Structure 1
Amino acid sequence: MKVLIVYYSHYGHIHTMADAIAEGVREVEGMEPVIRRVPQTLNEDVLEKMGALDYYNKTKDIPIVTHDEMKEASAIVFGTPTRYGNMASQMASFIDTTGGLWAEGALVGKVGSVFTSTGTQHGGQESTILSFHKTLLHHGMVIAGLPYAFAGQSRIDEITGASPYGASTVAGPDGSRMPSENELDGARWQGRYVAQLAKKLGVK
């Protein structure tokens, strides 16, 4: 059974979290993580001006997700940075291509989950995930968040992402802060949880 991890990452924070989600999935026997990206909509000149070209060049060989892969997966975990409390436009553009999947009911009953990153502690982590959940509900997916059983989200001794809605990380205003070990633990917990749910549901 496959857990598809579909992400957009601009500077690498979401990519790092996606790898941790995959680690969690691998902890569940019989579950295989598959990491895919959505298409980049910005040209290389723009990416260079934004300081994101080096990261893009390092990861552009990661395959772009296909609709067939989404049909075949037992669960799909989406990762996107926040843009004004919503998903990034690159992710939204890809989601707009899934109308055929919706018409077929191809994702009905599959487990769906979301993780994100923001520049600041209150930059829209929860609103981004919650607004993304509406898309998953329209597709008929069974939503999995990050329950308080992951105790790391209750920590107050350090700056940290994570909420009951999903794993997250705080990148810092200049993007220099990469995910902390606690944030990565939250992503691993979420990946494991999604895989366990899909396995229990027997989703094909």
Structure 2
Amino acid sequence: MNILILYYSMYGHIHRMAEAAAEGVREVAGATATLRRAPETLQPEVLEKMGALEPQKAFARVPVCTVEELPSYDGILFGTPTRFGNMCGQMRQFLDATGGLWAKGALIGKPGGVFTSSATQHGGQESTILTFQTFLLHQGMVVVGLPYSFAGQMRIDEITGGSPYGASTIAGGQGERLPSENELAAARFQGRHLAGIAAKLAR
């Protein structure tokens, strides 16, 4: 059983969450995790002006995903930064190219979930995940969130991401805050949870 973790990361926050989610997937017996990046749509000179080229070197080794490979996985966990309460343009453009899969029903019945990041504590994390889930529903996927059995989302002793909709992290206005251990634990939990559901569906 192979779970795809498909993400876009500009400064590395979502990449770290994706790695944690992969760790969670691998905790399920017989499950493997495959990391893939959504294709970049910005020119290198634009990314350089945004200060993103250097951070992206850390995960440049992760292969870029193709639409054609999506049906070969038993479940998909998507990661995207928040852009004004919605997914980033890179992920949106990639998903818009999956019409052929929709026409064939190629993703029907596969579990799918979403994790995200935002600059601020209330920067649209939940709306990003909720609006992303409409794609999962149109593709006939089984929506998997972050249940309250992950008690870390109920913490009030520290600032933290995470909600029943999915794992999340707060990056800071300048990207200065890296995912906390609690946020990484949420990503691991969601990865493990999705892989467990995929295993049950496979049986």
Tell me which residue corresponds to 1:24: 24
SS of structure 2 residue aligned to 1:79:
strand
Percent identity reads 63
Instruction: Give how far 1:62 is off.
Output: 1.5
Alpha-carbon distance in 2 for matches of 1:124, 1:25 = 26
State how many pairs are aligned. Answer: 203
Instruction: Give how far 1:76 is off.
Output: 0.3
Instruction: Give how far 1:65 is off.
Output: 1.0
Alpha-carbon distance in 2 for matches of 1:172, 1:9 = 15
Tell me which residue corresponds to 2:172: 172
Instruction: Give how far 1:64 is off.
Output: 1.0
Tell me which residue corresponds to 1:147: 147
Tell me which residue corresponds to 1:191: 191
Alpha-carbon distance in 1 for matches of 2:57, 2:158 = 33
Instruction: Give how far 1:104 is off.
Output: 0.5
Alpha-carbon distance in 2 for matches of 1:23, 1:173 = 28
Alpha-carbon distance in 1 for matches of 2:72, 2:98 = 14
RMSD, aligned CA = 0.9
Alpha-carbon distance in 1 for matches of 2:72, 2:86 = 27
Instruction: Give how far 1:66 is off.
Output: 1.9
Structure 1 residues without counterparts, runs of 5 or longer: none
Alpha-carbon distance in 2 for matches of 1:68, 1:201 = 22
Q: What do residues 44-99 of structure 1 show as CA deviations (whole Å, max 9, x unaligned)?
A: 11111101011223323321112332111010000000000000000001001100
Alpha-carbon distance in 1 for matches of 2:85, 2:102 = 25
For 1:93-132, list aligned pairs within 5 A: 93-132=93-132
Alpha-carbon distance in 2 for matches of 1:66, 1:39 = 8
Matched, 1:12 2:12: yes
State the AA in 1 paired with 2:20: A
Alpha-carbon distance in 1 for matches of 2:41, 2:114 = 21
Kept in 1, the 8 Å contact 2:81–2:117? The answer is yes
Point out 4+ residue stretches in structure 1 off by more than 6 angstroms: none
Matched, 1:38 2:11: no
Structure 2 residues without counterparts, runs of 5 or longer: none
State the AA in 2 paired with 1:132: F
For 1:44-63, list aligned pairs within 5 A: 44-63=44-63
